[in-house]
Chain A
Amino acid sequence: MSQTSDAWIDAQLTVPASVQLPSVQAAYALLAQPVTNIGQLHNDRVAAWFQNSVRGPDQLRQRVAFALSEIMVVSQVSLNGYPYAVADYYDLLARDAFGNFRTLMQDVTLHPAMGVYLSMLGNRKPNVTLNIRPDENYARELMQLFTVGLVQLNLDGSVKLDAQQQPLPTYDQNTVEGFAHVYTGWRWAGAASFNASRASLINQVQPMQAYVEEHDTGSKVVLSYSGAALSTIPAGQTPAKDLSDALDNIFNHPNVAPFIAKQLIQRLVTSNPSPQYIERVATKFNNDGNGVRGNLGAVVKAILLDTEARATTTVSTAGKVKEPLLRLTQIWRAYNANSSSNVLNLANLGAIFGQGPLQAGSVFNFFSPGYAPPGEISTQNLVAPELQIATEYLNTQTTNYFLTMSLCYVPTPVTGVGCPAVRADTVVLDTAAELALNGDSAALVDKIADRLLAGKISDTLRAQARALVDRAPLTSPSLRVAEALYLIASSPEFAHQQ
């Protein structure tokens, strides 16, 4: 790399977002029976995700957007009828990835994808006669999962304890109910009234609109903490002012910095950051050096340039398990993968990798930040979130995909192994450089290691891959390359991100 890392990050911070919505909108015109088949546009959405993630000039922005998409989760699973909204939600995350966290909170809160997903859209004021009270879904999850978490944190991410050594909760049910009242009155934009408000292709990608007739105008309990500007929102305010006060109240809570710092570190660098690492990043969140709180660009830069992220000696907890979907994008990037239709996509991502862009099973994402499999990770009080989807079943599915990919999705598929026919949309790897090394198994293996392991291949993997290549006949270069590619792509070391 000719640039320093510092300069590369600075340059990346200024690259505008590659977006998904235009290609999804373009695909709509080609859709037969658009009303019933609207969900098919999610295929185009995912293709746009691959295009941007593999080829976009805004690589760092896309990577951070993916991390955010696993923290502030919405999912196609519940939004199949709203492909525009889901695509636009991801675009929001990409646009806001290096902006201010308070802006991100506002945009996420008012996006109809989130509105539908966590049912703030359509949330009505109380009706005592009918025992109707405001929906608590978004009120709870915005705090629990997206911003402050359940328990009070020190700046280094450690939990604050009471005199009985129990964690101090960040809020209680009254607080949830207070925020639930704040988030009343919002629905699809552009209607004359709350009750007349309906979804359209236009307002799916516009912020929700407030309809005063369904907004609760009483006072509302919000978070109480040292330095809070208010702990009760006064009665009689507009929906927008209530929302602004409520989001300010959350944004300024001291938990936000360590909570978001730790999760972004976990998504981007390591599952088990030291308290000092979390504190350094959280400090940057609280003040970027220019007195600004919540500058995500500065936070991301601090995460990536931290000494702990760039340590040259490997400790047993360094790095993380690479998400299976990101193993695929890494391979596609490394091998200039393409299909003859120039589309990058793959069907059934969930079945093969246990994940797909904005396709989690619930707001709790594909895996929990606190997941620890039984064994040494658990007994040492460590975590490995990504291993929650590394089940025996899903690992085998992923491993089997990599075998098919190695044998079949290459310039000349191996014959006699049952490869499916190559279609216009089959994504094929360019393994020409490896094929040219057919006669030299050592060079062939090292070439793959250069591309996928940054050249750092273990002696065992190198020896096994070489030996297996040499068992395959010289007359079948595709098979020889496939054997090495398969063993490396399915290896524990490729599944590890350092």
Chain B
Amino acid sequence: MSNFNRRRFLKASAAGGIACAMGHVPDTVFAEFAGNDTFSDYKALVCLFLFGGNDSWNMVVPSSTAEYNAYQTSRQSLAIPQSSLLPIAPLNPDGAQYGFHPNMPELQQLFQAQHCAVIANIGPLLEPIATKDQYANRSVALPPQLFSHNDQQDQWHSLKGNMQSRTGWAGRIADQLVSSTAAQQLALNVSLAGQTLFQAGAQAVPYTMGAAGPVAFSGLTGTDALSMARRAAFTTIVNAEYGTVYERGYADVQKRALLYSDRVNTALAAGPTLATVFPTSNLATQLRTVARLISVRDRLQMSRQIFFVSTGGFDTHDNQVDDQPGLLGGISAAVNAFYNATVELGVSQSVTTFTQSDFGRTLTSNGDGSDHAWGGIQLVVGDAVIGRKFYGAYPQLSIGSARDVGGGRFIPIVSSDQYAATLARWVGVPDANLNTIAPSLGAFPGARDLGFMM
């Protein structure tokens, strides 16, 4: 049904145009057709990847005296002053009190207004780890190459565990939804920040644009005879047969660029002007473009989208005290502007932004920074989020405590597989298929969904 628009077909039939012709079709068939093969609503996930490994123990910090003192003793010069923390009041208190980093007032307010959830002590796991003895004895399976940037990025992107993987979990969602999103005029996965394993599917191919949107091929869009001839020649060349995988791979990119850039730019040019003011940062530019793309979702016939945006600099081995405020402040301001834009567009219930990062960092200092660790904190933002709550469990931030495997490296209590599955279910993957998205999910029976999405 490659050229057949199921969504429009169903709308047309629901309106009565061909309903009588369908009268003899068994209800079950019709229900399956309607239920699995198309979406009547719109949903989008926005992955914000914090490259380098965000030191998130400084992003949401214990503020009650006993817990703060443990934190301060561990972190020493890396600790955020207690009095500067921005207080929050979770609806599911764990006995301690917490605050956001002082440069994150926007996210503090989004949390308090129930638009933001905190997932505490999350990271790659292959199965639950109850004690650090299990880690020390290797009596549980562990993700390979813990503490290595690219390997742990790949874990978050692909959830591959001990396996090789050439696909990411967003790519696999796109593969799953390929028939129900067949009418979409743009790839389900769009990146504003380069190509990642996260969005690579077995069949579904992501589309990468610049932070400010797609760029058109100059010299190929004119309507004069020479421009049209040039475009025809260029098109013939990229569609020719080539003898090597490299030429074919390169030509495939050019073909997608030709196909999508004009289509998206045309849609964007006809879209509404956003009133929401975004800060001036590359991340904010990316998120503004995402908001603009969402604003033209109907023109592009999009019902499901996954966007990838990113910002870097979080590998704070050095100068952490100087660099971290700007990094965290940048996230807070940009994510808040994006949330406001989704409100402006009336899609705040339909768009969920979530963070990922290589790993958490050591509580201990190396003198003026922190090193690679494991569990950390992620944030989820949007009006489909059951916000103002903590999920997972915030650990005791003292050296040698129950889940510290050394130097303040924490064994996660919840896994990135559970996180991905929770988001995948929300975006439309049936429960039966979630293990394809999150391959280690079977090791977490009874907790396949972390419960932070409505």
Contacts and interface: CB of A to CB of B under 8 A. Distances in A.
Given A377-B249, A400-B218, A493-B242, A132 B367 contact: yes
A140 B257 CA distance: 38
Contacts, number: 227
B216 interface: yes
Q: Ordered nearest first, which 6 A-B pairs have the shortest CB separation?
A: A391-B208, A135-B366, A392-B257, A492-B247, A464-B233, A137-B317
Contacts of B226: 471-472
Contacts of B317: 118-119, 135-137
Name the prevailing secondary structure of the B interface residues: loop
A85 to B, nearest CB: 15
Contacts of B167: 374
Contacts of B386: none
A163 interface: no
Contacts of B254: 395, 399, 490, 492
B250 interface: yes
Interface in B10-58: 51-52
Bin the interface of chain B by size.
Answer: 35 or more
Contacts of B261: 392, 396
A377 to B, nearest CB: 5
A407 B227 CA distance: 13
Nearest to A371: B195
Contacts of A382: 245
Interface stretch (B104-112, B197-205, B326-334): B197-205
A123 B145 CA distance: 24
Contact of A483 (B144, B203, B230): B230
B200 A133 contact: no
A375 B249 contact: yes
A211 B147 CA distance: 29
Contacts of B252: 373, 375
Interface in B55-89: 73-77
Interface string A468-498: 1001100000000001001100111101100
B215 interface: yes
Contact of A374 (B51, B171, B260): B171
Interface residues of A, number: 81
Nearest to B189: A374
B346 interface: no
Nearest to A404: B218
B225 interface: yes
B77 to A, nearest CB: 7
B250 A130 contact: no
Interface of B: 51-52, 73-77, 144-151, 162, 166-167, 171, 191, 194-195, 200-210, 214-219, 225-226, 229-230, 233-234, 236-238, 240, 242-254, 256-257, 260-261, 312, 315, 317-318, 362-369, 371-372, 399, 406-408
Contact of A496 (B219, B247, B364): B247
A378 B166 contact: yes
Interface in A165-198: 166-167, 169, 173, 176
A136 B317 CA distance: 8
Given A122-B318, A150-B145, A392-B253, A166 B162 contact: yes
A442 to B, nearest CB: 16
Contacts of B230: 468, 483, 486-487
Contacts of A467: 229, 233
7 contacts: A131-B73, A134-B366, A135-B367, A362-B149, A376-B249, A387-B253, A492-B242
Contacts of B215: 393, 396-397, 400
B147 A131 contact: no
A326 interface: no
Contact of B204 (A118, A316, A374, A403): A374
B245 A392 contact: no
Contact of B367 (A122, A176, A458, A495): A122
B234 A176 contact: no
